[in-house]
Amino acid sequence: RRFLASKEQFHAYLRAGDERSNGGKEEEEKIEEKKEEISSCQSEPPAKRVKSEDLGQDGESRENAGAEEKEPAERKRARGQNKSRPCMKPNHYEQSRLCPSVTQGCAEKCYFGPRCRFLHDVGEYMATKPADLGRSCVLFETFGKCIYGVTCRFAQAHLGDSYQNIVNTDLAKQWEGKSLVRNNLSKDLQHQLRKKLFSFKKADEYLRGLAKPHGGGGKGGKATGRSTEEQEVSNCTTPQEGLGDSPECPVLPEQGEDPKPDALQCPSPTAGEEASSVKTVGPVTDEDIIKLRICEKKKLEIQGKLYLAPLTTCGNLPFRRICKRFGADVTCGEMAVCTNLLQGQSSEWALLKRHHTEDIFGVQLEGAFPDTMTKCAELLNQTIEVDFVDINVGCPIDLVYKKGGGCALMTRSNKFEQIVRGMNSVLDVPLTVKIRTGVQEKINVAHKIIPKIREWGASMVTLHGRSREQRYTRGADWDYIAECAKIASPMPLFGNGDILSYEDANRAMQMGVSGIMIARQVPIGALIKPWLFTEIKEQRHWDISSSERFDILKDFTNYGLEHWGSDTQGVEKTRKFLLEWLSFLCRYIPVGLLEHLPQKINERPPYYMGRDYLETLMASQNVDDWIKISELLLGPVPTNFTFLPKHKANSYR
């Protein structure tokens, strides 16, 4: 209770900039007070009301609370996204940009020639370039070379005479030929997708089977027209595992034809099996001739492992690297829309990128129809390197639900079956499904759907213990998850929801689930405390200090500069995702300040003073203070900079 404070005391402490941090950090000296708030939609919410029994013995806090009660309180819950939030385009940062051909050292080969609208004079560019943000460049120190050259915002670390880019040849040789990030979209593949030249032989064969009328009487939408007796004969283990092996489902590729990124970046638009073939050396074995059956597909062996859920916006590659460092075993890319991938959109393909440290990695697809989902699965099967593909049947947002995707598939069992069977028939890797308890709050349907998912050929299912109507509010129903885990057997079922500490993880594993998925959680989870993976593995509460938390932000910044670039555009993109993450991180309450462990679900803390200035600054839920933290790491923000979090739960009006 001695850490509790009123709203006025909290902000007065931050304004004063009291240097009580551990060791007097130099970064705190760089904080400059903002003269005015950015906009009314970014201002602080009405002060949190603290129960009188939890306040100090003096009556000051009680008076403040009484004054706050008189404020007009529009306590309507903020949900969904800020669709009209301000967005700063890259051209706002640099009006005069240097041509990429100059940065790459081939100015004479500029594709646009005299029509190029970018600068080709390095001296002219340097005269207008914003000041450098630091003396050390993470790209130069890590890889021995910064590919951004003079455009790097830390260029003084690697620029010589006449603006020549210095290269550390010894360090650069260590990284030569190594691929740090895989699953990139090549220009040739993008051209094929945009011109509709990519061959979807397996998907087309499966979809032609769907169009055939079947004797069972339906609308021609059944995933298979085979009788139950024929399905049981083709099975090699249990009746459920062989149902996807139908005449309409094409035979899987040869086992020796694992997708190789180098050979498959540019598949031939007219080739059949040759499009995915790789030249091999050695004798022909059974694996080169005998085709795989569905029941012989590679298994997904992740039982008992910690699974970082796909997190929209914040689950980017730098954040996954942070979680991987703290002990996450399985990682998954952000939800990607299948239609955007089929169109070759670079922004959507960026969600599939995989860092070399992610040893067990999957991608999550969202779609509403079997044709696009099956084609997208075949596309990814040939062009990227993943360990599994996940179908998002748990997304609650209206944009996805109204188009028939996400949670809506739980009410469209016919389309759902066609999607699962079709994707399973064209994939060489396991197929998993993520669902919720149901659509309506008090009507659970997952226990009815899970046996069907197992029958359709999925390798694993993840169950979020909330319905669509609950979104991320209220508690997850772990008793129902335990019931579904028994129904799903022998198919693995991962549970998801309200894993706040290692005690919660232990209780979840005792429910009979095969593993746990750790997601955003409100208010705790991977986004609030990525070191939760360490706590679970080491079975302890980690009272992490503010300096350690700041070091995590430093690492995220360095990973972001590696991933998005160290030029102005890359710096501001890193800042944007850092601010999005800070909108969640501010909800963390240090373990040393809690009266009772652990922090409870859906509880927002009262205003409190941290044990040092930095800890107090990190506890602020004001956008201005998040921007201050970003300035400690990435320098001053551009003029007229504005920020509003994507999720309304983290923005106050």
Find the Cα–Cα–Cα–Cα dihedral 93, 95, 100, 102, rounded to 10°. -120
86 confidence band (pLDDT: 50, 70, 90): low
Q: Are residues 361 and 421 in the same domain?
A: yes
Q: Are residues 467 and 589 in the same domain?
A: no
Rounded-to-integer distance, Cα 480 and Cα 487, Å: 11
Selection from 88-97, 234-243, 366-375, 586-595 with the highest mean pLDDT: 366-375
- Per the domain annotation, does 7 fall within a domain? no
Q: In 125-185, which ranges are E strands?
A: 181-182
- Per the domain annotation, does 463 fall within a domain? yes
3-class SS of residue 36: coil
Q: Are residues 461 and 610 in the same domain?
A: no
- Per the domain annotation, does 501 fall within a domain? yes
Q: Are residues 374 and 442 in the same domain?
A: yes
Instruction: Residue 331: name the closest of 57, 123, 530 by CA.
Output: 530
Rounded-to-integer distance, Cα 333 and Cα 343, Å: 19
Q: Are residues 329 and 477 in the same domain?
A: yes
Q: Are residues 422 and 481 in the same domain?
A: yes
The percentage of the chain sitting over the pLDDT mark of 90, rounded to a whole number, equals 48
What digits encode the pLDDT tens for the residues 107-165?
677 888 888 888 888 888 998 888 999 999 999 999 999 999 999 999 999 998 888 89
Rounded-to-integer distance, Cα 442 and Cα 456, Å: 27
Angstrom CA distances, 135 to 239, 558, 635, stand at: 64, 14, 12
Q: What is the helix (H) or strand (E) element at residue 306, kind and residue range? A: strand 306-308
Instruction: Residue 11: name the closest of 48, 62, 38 by CA.
Output: 48
Q: Catalytic: which of 249, 376, 395, 407?
A: 395
Selection from 58-67, 347-356, 617-626 with the highest mean pLDDT: 347-356
570 confidence band (pLDDT: 50, 70, 90): very high
Domain end among 182, 198, 222: 182
- Rounded mean pLDDT of 401-408? 92
475 confidence band (pLDDT: 50, 70, 90): confident
pLDDT at 237 (0 to 100)? 38
- Per the domain annotation, does 28 fall within a domain? no
Buried b or exposed e, range 56-76, using 16+ CB within 10 angstroms: eeeeebeebbeebeeeeeeee
Rounded-to-integer distance, Cα 589 and Cα 625, Å: 17
Q: Are residues 446 and 587 in the same domain?
A: no
Per the structure, the complete domain to which residue 136 belongs is given by: 100-182
Active site residue 137: no
Domain end among 166, 182, 198: 182
What digits encode the pLDDT tens for the residues 322-356?
999 999 999 999 999 999 999 999 999 999 999 99
- Per the domain annotation, does 45 fall within a domain? no
Q: Are residues 313 and 166 in the same domain?
A: no
For residue 396, the domain's CATH number is 3.20.20.70
Q: How many CB atoms lie within 10 A of CB 51?
A: 8
- Per the domain annotation, does 138 fall within a domain? yes
DSSP 410: G
Rounded-to-integer distance, Cα 396 and Cα 196, Å: 31
Domain end among 182, 214, 232: 182
Largest CA distance in the chain: 86
Tokens coding 44: 């602080």
Mean pLDDT, the chain, whole residue set: 78
Who has greater pLDDT, 116 or 271? 116
- Per the domain annotation, does 8 fall within a domain? no
Q: Are residues 195 and 173 in the same domain?
A: no
**Ramachandran bin of 498, using left for φ above 0, alpha for ψ from -120 to 50, beta for the remaining angles:** left
What digits encode the pLDDT tens for the residues 441-464?
889 999 999 999 999 999 999 999
The structure's pTM equals 0.78
The percentage of the chain sitting over the pLDDT mark of 70, rounded to a whole number, equals 71
Q: What is the helix (H) or strand (E) element at residue 516, kind and residue range? A: strand 515-518
pLDDT at 328 (0 to 100)? 94
Contact 415, 369 (CB under 8 A): yes
Could you give the number of structural domains in the chain?
3
Strands 354-355 and 181-182: antiparallel
pLDDT at 646 (0 to 100)? 76
**Ramachandran bin of 344, using left for φ above 0, alpha for ψ from -120 to 50, beta for the remaining angles:** left
Q: Are residues 524 and 595 in the same domain?
A: no
Rounded-to-integer distance, Cα 643 and Cα 577, Å: 11
What digits encode the pLDDT tens for the residues 181-212?
999 999 999 999 999 999 999 999 999 998 87
pLDDT at 293 (0 to 100)? 61
Q: Which residues are CB-neighbours of 99 under 8 A, at least 6 positions away?
A: 107, 110, 116, 118, 119, 120
Rounded-to-integer distance, Cα 489 and Cα 512, Å: 10
Q: Are residues 111 and 165 in the same domain?
A: yes
- Per the domain annotation, does 11 fall within a domain? no
pLDDT at 524 (0 to 100)? 46
Q: Are residues 509 and 628 in the same domain?
A: no
